[in-house]
């Protein structure tokens, strides 16, 4: 059993069954999630010998923000299901680890409370049917200190195939709060128009940039063609993602999609990746291929559930320690020195 598998087991032991089921849920038969993990392990690292590996430097920056390591916390909904404080504790853990977190549109924590923990953060956006609601939220996020927007582009056809328990049916009142940054009057005004828009086109990228004054990354891109469309429309970054295998059960995996997207737009914008990265060695593969950073989701959520802010910090510290070990074994002194030649796809 790996430390992440053990952590998931400990989290499941303290979570209500329906919350645990939501966190574990996948689209279809779960093959995208399973293969998403396996495909990172289909790559092999190529170590160099007789190199000075006495010290390793993980420091990096993402869209100009310094981080202790290019391992970030992905935006995740329903963190209040793990702990009532939700993203406030996740932000504390990220701050301790010296890294950045994404904050979901569906957060139960207020922006100011998250920002007060000291970690840099990006705001993840589901564009609402009524764009006035989205404009309010992105303006408030920018005012509270968000450094970028993450436009999630892979969730408009919300999947009937997802076997999750709908969090809106959870019995705990606070855990149903997905709109902590809209007032009661605003929620009444917008009603169901806060549900996700189904008619998004690339023009929304420029609209979000104008509304917020922030750079915009597009999350959920899995083809070079779509990466090009996003960048041509003004995206400042791409996050290659399968939404943790939660949207299309038989989609290509992030590990499979990353190389072609890097070949198309990697020389123009930052390309990040998530989904299935279960340790520092897998992070090293993604970074060697050319990703600027990796984002972790479920492991951070399990750390939050099991041990609160300290659990999140420990998860991040473990990833960082594994990345240090991997670099040392490869004869590499800095994460910035990882190159595509350091990795090979197993035939």
Catalytic residues: 243
Task: Please tell me whether 6 is known to bind a ligand.
Answer: no
Q: Is 241 annotated as a binding residue?
A: yes
Considering just the CA atoms, what is the radius of gyration of the chain in Å?
Answer: 19
Distance CA 97, CA 160 (A): 37
Residue 277 annotated as lining a ligand binding site: yes
- The answer to whether 266 is a known ligand-binding residue is no
Task: Please tell me whether 238 is known to bind a ligand.
Answer: no
E strand map for 153-278: 216-221, 237-240, 270-274
Backbone angles phi, psi at 151, to 5 degrees: -85, 110
CB atoms within 10 A of CB 66: 12
Say how many CA atoms lie within 13 Å of 151 toward its Cβ: 32
Check the annotation: does 337 bind a ligand: no
Residue 339 is labelled as binding a ligand: no
**Cβ contact 253:242 at 8 Å:** yes
Alpha helices in 54-179 (DSSP H): 87-97, 111-115, 131-144
Q: Give the span between the Cα atoms of 214 and 103, in whole angstroms.
A: 15
Question: How far from 253 is each of 31, 74, 149, 179, CA to CA, in Å?
Answer: 10, 17, 23, 31
- Please answer whether residues 93 and 313 qualify as being in contact, where contact means their C-beta atoms are separated by less than 8 angstroms: yes
298 in a labelled binding site: yes
Say how far apart CA 126 and CA 147 lie, in whole Å.
17
Q: Is 71 marked as binding a ligand?
A: no
The annotation status of 276 as a binding-site residue, yes or no, is yes
Is 278 annotated to bind a ligand? Reply is yes
The verdict on whether residue 126 carries a ligand-binding annotation is yes
According to the annotation, is 77 in a ligand binding site? Answer: yes
75 assigned binding-site residue: yes
Binding residues for FMN, as ranges, are 75-77, 104, 124, 152, 219, 241, 274-278, 297-298
The binding site consists of 22, 75-77, 104, 124, 126, 152, 219, 241, 243, 246, 274-278, 297-298
Binding site listing for glyoxylate:
22, 126, 243, 246
């Amino acid at each position: 059993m790996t430390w992440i598998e053990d952590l998931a087991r400990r989290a499941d032991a303290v979570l209500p069954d329906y919350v645990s089921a939501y966190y574990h849920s996948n689209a279809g038969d779960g093959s995208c999630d399973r293969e998403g993990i396996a495909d990172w392990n289909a790559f092999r690292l190529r170590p160099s010998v007789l190199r000075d590996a006495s010290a390793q430097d993980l420091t990096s920056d993402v869209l100009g923000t310094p981080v202790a390591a290019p391992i970030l916390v992905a935006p995740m909904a329903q963190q209040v299901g793990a702990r009532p404080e939700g993203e406030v504790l996740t932000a504390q853990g990220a701050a301790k680890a010296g890294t950045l977190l994404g904050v979901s549109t569906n957060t139960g924590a207020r922006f100011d409370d998250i920002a007060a923990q000291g970690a840099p953060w990006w705001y993840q956006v589901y564009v609402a049917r009524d764009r006035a609601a989205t404009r309010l939220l992105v303006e408030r996020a920018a005012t509270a200190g968000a450094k970028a927007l993450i436009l999630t582009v892979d969730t408009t056809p919300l999947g009937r195939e997802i076997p999750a328990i709908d969090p809106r049916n959870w019995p705990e009142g606070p855990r149903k709060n997905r709109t902590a940054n809209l007032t009661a009057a605003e929620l009444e005004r917008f009603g169901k128009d806060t549900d996700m828009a189904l008619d998004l086109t690339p023009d929304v990228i420029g609209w979000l940039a104008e509304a917020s004054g922030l750079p915009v990354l597009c999350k959920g891109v899995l083809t070079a063609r779509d990466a090009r469309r996003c960048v041509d429309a003004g995206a400042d970054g791409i996050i290659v993602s399968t939404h943790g295998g939660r949207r299309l059960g038989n989609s290509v995996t992030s590990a499979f999609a990353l190389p072609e997207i890097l070949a198309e737009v990697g020389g123009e914008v930052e390309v990040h990746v998530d989904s299935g990265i279960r340790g520092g060695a897998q992070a090293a593969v993604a970074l060697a291929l050319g990703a600027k950073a990796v984002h972790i989701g479920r492991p951070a959520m399990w750390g939050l559930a099991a041990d609160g802010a300290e659990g999140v910090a420990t998860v991040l510290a473990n990833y960082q320690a594994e990345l240090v070990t991997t670099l040392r074994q490869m004869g590499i002194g800095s994460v910035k020195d990882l190159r595509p030649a350091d990795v090979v796809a197993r035939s």
